[in-house]
Structure 1
């Protein structure tokens, strides 16, 4: 029993410690380097609500771990709730969901080449000089 107890406790501690270091940055290609968004503004942007800035939200696919982290920490909803919300918005034609791009690297490239675009990335990724960090979720 003791031989199972230590590895179990150790792996639980490592899992909690590793997940505590996960953080997200929201990055944009914008001329206005002074823009800083609150969590609620970022949530609104990615849920199709209006902001005082002309920005286009770009998202990762539903099975991406960075998206899962973003949804839980910033949006505050599970993927199934978000999918249900967008199904209703598509049906009623009221809002348009963010464009999905396959990988973090591809999102970074898209943002670099498309002014006004905004995406979320893991904080450990290298952000090129021309882009602006609008929000950090630690």
Structure 2
């Protein structure tokens, strides 16, 4: 019986750790789109405008949230994304998203800059002025 209880507790802990790894794409509420599609999010963060007037900002390399975003939303490893941006910068075709130091910096930046968009952990508390445009859960 205690072995079954231990297994159930372990399963619940694993489930909760995966739930915390969900991501949201958020923007300043001045942007009025009800939601973004996965394709629109990918286009925005790869330098396209996806028909939207939003400017993306990102977290630094090796940030856990960034790694999750790249894997689960972009569908690309960090090396591939860095290679893409090296090529885009070299040819002068696109500029990568600005890099902010932390999730808290992202929240502050979005609040101060209308028409900006970024990603955060799904369990990150959000001020009323930020709107979830896309949710990526496991």
Q: TM-score normalised to the size of structure 2?
A: 0.85
**Cα displacement string for residues 53-85 of structure 1 (whole angstroms, at most 9, x for unaligned residues):** 210100000110000000000000000000000
Residue 23 of structure 2 contacts residue 119 of structure 2 at CA under 8 Å; is this kept in 1? yes
Matched, 1:125 2:128: no
Give the Å deviation of 1:32. Answer: 3.8
| TM-score of the two chains, using structure 1 as the length reference | 0.85
**Which ranges of structure 2 fall in alignment gaps of 5 or more residues?**
1-6
Matched, 1:20 2:18: yes
CA distance in 2: counterparts of 1:126 and 1:19, whole angstroms: 17
**Structure 1: runs of 5+ lacking an equivalent:** 1-8
How far apart in 2 are the matches of 1:57 and 1:34?
15
After TM superposition, give the deviation of residue 49 of structure 1 in Å.
1.2
The number of residue pairs the alignment matches comes to: 129
